[in-house]
Amino acid sequence: MSESITYLHGIDCACSELSCRNASGGKNMKRRSLLKGMAAASLSPVLASCSTDSNTTYKRKIENLGIQLYTVRDLMEIDVPNTLSKLAKIGYREMEFAGYFNHSPKEIRLLLDDLGLIAPSVHTNTQSMRESPEKLIEASIDVGHKYIVLAGLRPEERASLDDYYRHVDLITSFAEKCQAAGLQFAYHNHAYEFQDLEGVRPIDLLLTEIDPLLMQLEIDFYWVIKAGVDPIEYLEKYPGRFPLCHVKDMAVDGSMADVGDGRINFSKLFSYDLSGLKHFFVENDYPVDSMTSAEKSYSHLSKLNF
């Protein structure tokens, strides 16, 4: 991948969200008031105390829990083999990459095989999709990925609906190449796709304009809720299009939290049978201690019934 995708995660992404909200001035204040009401009303089924998640009436559990390696990027940058080994010892079985940390795809595959791990998906960016699609697809096949996921769009790539329509064309072209190689393309959301732009939610534009066979969605529950939208609305509206999800929790103040320390009712979200969920990736963009965060989230989710 020729361009770092760090800007699509973490602080750069969060700053773009903030600048978008701050630019609206007085409207932003009204929006904050509205979101408080939404959190208490329309979002109440998915925002609950942590005790709700352990409801014994639910019977299923996540079989092979995964983690987005951006969560432990500080450790991956120092020692990839040791970091993967520690995650495997915690109990994680599926890894989602966002770059290979100066290792070749074949080296990554050997490390995964030695630890009994798999990597169903990898994050990428529009530059790689546009400039080196064949290289990206070849690397994905070497590692054993089944999904190539567009991590998000830069602020300048999503300023208007016309920008999104241009990306419909790019995504369709790249997704067709993925399909021909036996891979599936997916899109990872943030909050901005769920915020009205010229009277339209961009996420609806993407999901309606692109063939469902070509584009699936990796739903990031935190960001959907951060936008003031109930994820179940979309699980119902587009059934079967969500094979992947990011599992990050939301603290009372709206910041990210380790899973189990926040108030998102994951049992409620995971139990929606028509969603198509198959792969669950823990993520925390700002962990105090990344491996401790990974361990805490695993401990909570491994006991979760849904």
Domain limits, the chain: 6-302
- Predicted TM-score (pTM) of this structure: 0.86
5, 11, 17, 22: CA torsion to nearest 10: -140
Helix pair 80-90, 290-302: axis angle to 10 deg = 30
Gap between the Cα atoms of 48 and 227, Å rounded: 17
Rounded distance, CA 306 to CA 53, Å? 8
| Confidence (pLDDT) at 58 | 62
Taking a C-beta distance cutoff of 8 angstroms, is the pair 223, 189 a contact?
yes
Residue 185: in which H helix or E strand, if any? strand 184-188
Residue range 173-212, pLDDT digits in tens: 999 999 999 999 999 999 999 999 999 999 999 999 999 9
Report the Cα 25 to chain-centroid distance in Å: 29
Q: Which pLDDT value is given to residue 290?
A: 99
Predicted local confidence at residue 38, as pLDDT: 44
The whole-number pLDDT of residue 15 equals 34
Q: Is the pLDDT of residue 39 over 90?
A: no
How many Å apart are CA 103 and CA 106, to the nearest integer?
Answer: 8
Distance CA 234, CA 161 (A): 20
The pLDDT confidence band at residue 272, using thresholds 50, 70 and 90, is: confident
Q: Which amino acid is at 285?
A: D
Is the domain covering 6-302 a CATH 3.40.50.12280 domain? Answer: no
pLDDT at 57: 63
Q: In 3-state terms, what secondary structure has residue 219? A: strand
Cβ contact 118:94 at 8 Å: yes
Note whether 71 and 64 are within 8 A (CB): no
Q: Pick the range with the lowest mean pLDDT from 20-29, 155-164, 201-210, 279-288.
A: 20-29
DSSP 8-state symbol, 124: E
